[in-house]
């Protein structure tokens, strides 16, 4: 996955260079051969385009949402294609035909709009596109050129760097891929949150603390061997692996004895919909991660420690309780879970929840 993300980030750099019209031979070539006076946002893919160029074009939509124009003198900013106001690029809702009919130039700059048209829309357009009334008054500052900025996922705006972009893309990829594993209505919210942090390697494990420069000797509080890390806790650690083995057997999952990332990948590739098996599997994952993390912290910070069998009992009880609070349509799978987990589930024919 890393390599793919890295390639994407590098391609994003090309899109960025085209958008800022960087002074390189390649960008000059792109301008002459590919764009021919149009903006990168408005050209179409051609069947004869090279594989690399097609990939660059495919990436545009993702790239575009991140590229915002800070208005200076308005001379560079494209009125229709750049994002220079919070409502986004105007061409997402104004068509070429509209521009043509109203005799607007497709390559109009923000400055031209302000200077030649007093920054005003016609009444017809205000009625046709109520969004336009939300645009803030454009204030041009002479002597300061328009600057393209990179907007990250939290809305912060800054410089474009490949490593920043790499980070954003990885987060997006992770989010898309592992989303259904974590965020589903039947999950326990607190568990989902801990799992979400764990998936991103954001729990404050000891390897992280060591990286920050603390030199104390640290050992995993669960096994007293290695210092802990995401990979160790989920589920290399002797303590955790016993829990994992038991749960795998109970859930009928085979062959997950791998790294944390690989475990997540295997689970993410399985069916993650509303069947009782799928819901149970994901609730169990989140519960295991949450209770292992909790036990680790109890031992480290409160001096309380339980045996793995005791933690397992808590996990099982929590899962049973959660499963009992949900509604199911009658099915063989539901009866089987009732039997295996020794629970009485809420089964009704017209349930809107899990579909068994």
Told to check if 203 binds Zn ion by CB under 5 A, we report: no
- Cβ proximity to Zn ion: between 94 and 237 the closer is 237
The footprint of Zn ion on this chain (CB under 5 A) covers a number of residues equal to 4
> Cβ contacts of residue 52 below 8 Å, gap of 6+?
none
Told to check if 222 binds Zn ion by CB under 5 A, we report: yes
Closest CA to 282 of 205, 178, 145, 168: 178
Six token digits for residue 209: 């603390």
- Cβ proximity to Zn ion: between 18 and 292 the closer is 292
Choices 13-21, 155-163, 212-220, 301-309; region in contact with Zn ion by CB under 5 A = 212-220
- Cβ proximity to Zn ion: between 210 and 223 the closer is 223
Told to check if 220 binds Zn ion by CB under 5 A, we report: yes
- Cβ proximity to Zn ion: between 138 and 223 the closer is 223
Instruction: Compute the least distance from the CB of residue 227 to Zn ion, in Å.
Output: 9
Instruction: Compute the least distance from the CB of residue 237 to Zn ion, in Å.
Output: 3
Binds Zn ion by CB under 5 A, chosen from 40, 237, 312, 345: 237
Instruction: Compute the least distance from the CB of residue 5 to Zn ion, in Å.
Output: 30
Told to check if 300 binds Zn ion by CB under 5 A, we report: no
Instruction: Compute the least distance from the CB of residue 233 to Zn ion, in Å.
Output: 7
Choices 30-38, 67-75, 94-102, 222-230; region in contact with Zn ion by CB under 5 A = 222-230
Told to check if 280 binds Zn ion by CB under 5 A, we report: no
Binds Zn ion by CB under 5 A, chosen from 20, 35, 173, 223: 223
Choices 41-49, 122-130, 234-242, 340-348; region in contact with Zn ion by CB under 5 A = 234-242
- Cβ proximity to Zn ion: between 145 and 245 the closer is 245
Question: How far apart, in Å, are the Cα atoms of 51 and each of 40, 58, 326?
Answer: 17, 10, 49
Instruction: Compute the least distance from the CB of residue 252 to Zn ion, in Å.
Output: 26
Choices 114-122, 207-215, 217-225, 347-355; region in contact with Zn ion by CB under 5 A = 217-225
Choices 123-131, 235-243, 269-277, 345-353; region in contact with Zn ion by CB under 5 A = 235-243
Q: Write out the residues near Zn ion by the rule CB under 5 A.
A: 220, 222-223, 237
């Amino acid at each position: 996955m890393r390599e793919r993300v890295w390639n994407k980030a590098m391609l994003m750099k090309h899109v960025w260079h085209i958008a800022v019209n960087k002074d390189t031979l390649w960008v000059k070539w792109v301008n002459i051969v590919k764009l021919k006076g149009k903006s990168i946002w408005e050209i179409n893919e051609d069947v004869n385009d090279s594989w690399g160029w097609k990939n660059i074009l495919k990436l545009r939509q993702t790239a575009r949402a991140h590229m915002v124009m800070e208005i200076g003198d308005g001379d560079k900013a494209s009125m229709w294609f750049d994002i220079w106001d919070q409502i986004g690029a105007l061409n997402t809702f104004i068509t070429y035909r509209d521009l043509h009919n109203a005799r607007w130039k497709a390559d109009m700059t923000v400055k031209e709009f302000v200077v030649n048209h007093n920054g005003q829309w016609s009444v017809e357009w205000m009625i046709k596109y109520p969004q336009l009334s939300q645009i803030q008054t454009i204030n041009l500052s002479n002597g300061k050129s328009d600057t393209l900025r990179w907007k990250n996922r939290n809305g912060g705006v800054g410089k474009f760097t490949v490593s920043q972009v790499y980070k954003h893309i990885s987060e997006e990829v992770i989010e898309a891929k592992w989303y259904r594993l974590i965020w589903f209505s039947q999950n326990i919210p607190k568990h989902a949150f801990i799992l979400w942090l764990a998936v991103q390697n954001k729990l404050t494990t000891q390897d992280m603390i060591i990286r920050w420069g603390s030199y104390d000797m640290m050992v995993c509080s669960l096994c007293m061997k290695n210092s802990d890390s995401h990979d160790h806790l989920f589920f290399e650690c002797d303590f955790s692996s016993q829990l994992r083995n038991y749960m795998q057997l109970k859930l009928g999952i085979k062959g997950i004895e791998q790294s944390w990332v690989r475990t997540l990948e295997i689970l993410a590739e399985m069916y993650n919909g509303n069947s009782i098996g799928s819901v149970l599997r994901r609730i169990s994952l989140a519960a295991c991660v949450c209770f292992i993390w909790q036990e680790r912290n109890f031992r480290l910070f409160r001096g309380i420690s339980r045996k793995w069998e005791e933690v397992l009992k808590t996990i099982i009880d929590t899962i049973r309780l959660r499963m009992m609070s949900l509604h199911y349509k009658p099915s063989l799978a539901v009866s089987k879970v009732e039997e295996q987990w020794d629970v009485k589930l809420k089964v009704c024919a017209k349930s809107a929840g899990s579909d068994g």
